[in-house]
Amino acid sequence: MLSKLLVSSLLVSVTLSSTLLASSSFIPNLNEELTHNKELIKEYKNSLNTLAKRDKFLNSVKAKHPKLYAYKPLYEDTKSDFIYRIKLNGAEAKNVNFKIQNHMIGVDMNIKVTRNDKSGYYESSQSFYEDYSIPKNVKESKITHYIDGDYFVIKMPKQKVSKS
């Protein structure tokens, strides 16, 4: 009885040790992997530092020009006006064309970006065109448009309704 117990203990012991040896074989060189992980951690920390610096820079730019980066709704129906806003995305006011025709407002703009630096020559061009219908209770001659930060704003004053 004692010998059977001894043999089964020995078998369990051999099985456990062979299992432990087999599981360690999945990591061929633990030191190499640890070194690789340390390098990745260092690289990620550098990337996080770079992102933090970029974020600090972007916040400083936003602080210098808060109106330029302020979010505004693209359409508003206030008590006295209808207001349309078009995000310019860096387009210059001189590249925006505005016209009123047949109870419609037409806005079109062309944005062209050209850059030549050490990484090469880059050219991009975008076009935008949109028609907006003029509500019936707006007098076309009172419609105004202007630039507000990075938005082209169309303001259409509502006509006062006379109470009879």
The pLDDT profile of the chain, 164 residues, written as one tens digit per residue, is 555 655 565 555 556 555 555 555 567 788 888 999 999 999 999 999 999 999 998 888 888 878 777 778 889 999 999 999 988 876 777 888 899 998 899 999 887 778 888 888 888 888 888 898 898 899 888 999 998 888 889 999 998 766 65
CA-closest candidate to residue 160, choices 140, 139, 144: 139
Give Cα 62 to chain centroid, integer Å: 15
Residue 37 half-sphere exposure toward CB, CA atoms < 13 A: 6
pTM, to two decimals: 0.56
In this prediction, what percent of the chain has a pLDDT beyond 90?
31
Domain chopping of the chain, boundaries: 29-64, 75-157
Laid out side by side, the sheet with 151-157 consists of 75-77, 81-87, 151-157, 144-148
What's the CATH architecture for 75-157?
Answer: Sandwich (2.60)
Q: In angstroms, rounded to a whole number, what is the distance separating the alpha carbons of residues 160 and 80?
A: 8
130 neighbors 88 (Cβ within 8 angstroms): no
Residue 76 confidence (pLDDT): 92
- Where does 5-149 show beta strands of DSSP type E? 75-77, 81-87, 96-101, 104-117, 120-133, 144-148
